[in-house]
Amino acid sequence: MSGVSQVNAGRRADQPVLVVNAGSSSLKYQVVHPLSGDVVADGIAERIGEAQSSITHTQNGRTESDELPLPDHQAAIARALEFFTANGVDVAGADLCAVGHRVVHGGRTFYRPTLITPEVVEEIERLSTLAPLHNPANLIGIRAAQELLPDVPSVAVFDTAFFHDLPDAAATYAIDREVAAAHAIRRYGFHGTSHEYVSATAAEFLGRDYGDVNQIVLHLGNGASASAIKAGKAIDTSMGMTPLEGLVMGTRCGDVDPGMILHLNRVAGLGVDAIDALLNKRSGLKGLAGENDFRTLTEKMAAGDEDAKAAYDVYIHQLRRYIGAYMIELGRVDVISFTAGVGENAASVRADGLAELENYGIIIDPDRNAVRSKEPRRISTDDSPVTVLVVPTNEELEIARQSAELV
Ligand code: ADP
């Protein structure tokens, strides 16, 4: 589903894009030039709808914060627009090429950046059953931005889109076919914008055509996911029907035996909401060590905290399982890229995740791995048959590019 007809023909791709990432009580925004990647400004509004909301805005190297009541997302965007105006940029005027919205779940319907029409809004709403925490919040952001910037075309960029064409064997859960079909149960994958951006950047870094390269991308942030990309096409990913499956995450469990959920219900007496909260909010590193922030976890580990060490070991174990699986699925691996907060910053995770795989052609250079930088960089040795990179992700820029391209 897409509609280009209503696009304002006067918009140019060298105009900046306002990228909006709306969560249930937060809203991140960035105004960025899609061609150069230059960021005009960015900011985050937090605790929207609560008594003590705040907004932080960075522009021209200066960060300003405001603690004020933000009753809803529209109030947050309105306050952001005031920051822009005070800093000499009339975002509400004709300066924007598009507003690009991150939308988490596109289901089977949306697999490309899509101009937002009333019908598209309706469909995103319908898909909320698949992403009850995310799509409604994304829609609030869409409505708020449309209210305040009615003349700027808005575009939805879906987290699931990059994985839309997963091979059936990878996308299908082995459950009763009719039940699965009736309830849209299959593997959709998430973090697609990041996997797409990072894999494209990795191919560019290697100076090779995207379609020629076999890649593993490890997006390790608070949420974490892995993908296998063969000759430019995603063939597998660790997140599934929801962002709960796969790797160990900050607060999410990743893969568990579904029988455990039955046990929690039948034997432990937990209801569906309690199990939901347990698996989404009190599992992962948080559940194992009481701490979901990787930096703090590392500090605790260094101070001899045994739970922190055990959590780290489980995290690495699961990461290596996926790397191993994807190496076999791909047959030949050209490049493995680490990205997001943990992947970009935690050298130990990169070293331990790929330790002792020399027989498989993966040789990490410890000095390169220790380098800190905001640029894409190689951390494997020059003679390592598999190239290993750190590629800082930039989902905002990817959303801006895709939005600008559409309009
Ligand atoms: P998300 O976008 O999913 O919220 P991020 O990609 O920002 O998450 O990653 C957040 C994670 O990255 C946190 O666990 C944080 O502790 C970790 N992180 C950030 N900087 C570092 C660092 N220097 N060393 C280790 N972990 C880090």
Domain-located, residue 72: yes
Q: 351: alpha, beta or left, given left = phi > 0 and alpha = psi -120 to 50?
A: alpha
Sheet strand arrangement including 27-32: 62-67, 54-59, 39-46, 27-32, 17-22, 98-103, 154-158, 114-115
Active-site choice (159, 236, 257, 367) = 159
Q: Which atom of ligand 1 is the closest one to the Cα of 223?
A: 3
In the predicted model, what is the mean pLDDT of the chain?
94
Q: Are 318 and 179 in contact (CB under 8 A)?
A: no
Q: For position 94, what pLDDT does the model report?
A: 64
- Which sign does the torsion angle of CA 64, 66, 72, 77 carry? negative
Domain-located, residue 111: yes
Q: Which residues are annotated as a binding site for substrate?
A: 102
Range of the domain at 143: 3-158
CB of 295 within 6 A of ligand 1: the answer is: yes
For residues 278 and 357, membership in a common domain is answered with yes
Cβ atoms < 10 Å from Cβ of 329: 17
What is the pLDDT confidence band of residue 4, given thresholds at 50, 70 and 90?
A: very low
* Strand stretches in 105-242, DSSP E: 114-115, 154-158, 215-220, 224-230, 233-237
Q: Is 197 helix (H, G, I), strand (E, B) or coil?
A: helix
**Which residue in 34, 25, 85 sits closest to 59, CA to CA?**
85
Q: For position 182, what pLDDT does the model report?
A: 96
**Which residue in 401, 407, 399 sits closest to 115, CA to CA?**
407
For residues 223 and 330, membership in a common domain is answered with yes
Pick the last residue of a domain from 158, 180, 197: 158
Pick the last residue of a domain from 91, 126, 158: 158
Domain-located, residue 47: yes
Domain-located, residue 154: yes
For residues 340 and 247, membership in a common domain is answered with yes
For residue 221, report the distance from its CA to the centre of ligand 1, in Å.
Answer: 5
Q: For position 1, what pLDDT does the model report?
A: 41
Domain-located, residue 201: no
For residue 90, report the distance from its CA to the centre of ligand 1, in Å.
Answer: 33
Q: Which atom of ligand 1 is the closest one to the Cα of 393?
A: 6
CATH number assigned to the domain comprising residue 130: 3.30.420.40
Each residue's pLDDT tens digit, 72-98 = 898 999 999 899 889 888 777 667 999
For residues 99 and 245, membership in a common domain is answered with no
Tokens at residue 16, please? 């900046």
Distance CA 245, CA 189 (A): 9
Is residue 38 annotated as a catalytic residue, yes or no?
no
Each residue's pLDDT tens digit, 226-252 = 999 999 999 999 999 999 999 999 999
Q: What is the mean pLDDT of residues 8-17?
A: 71
What is the residue with the minimal CA distance to atom 21 of ligand 1?
345
When divided into structural domains, the chain yields a total of 2
Q: What is the mean pLDDT of residues 181-186?
A: 96
For residues 368 and 252, membership in a common domain is answered with yes
For residue 252, report the distance from its CA to the centre of ligand 1, in Å.
Answer: 15
For residues 138 and 237, membership in a common domain is answered with no
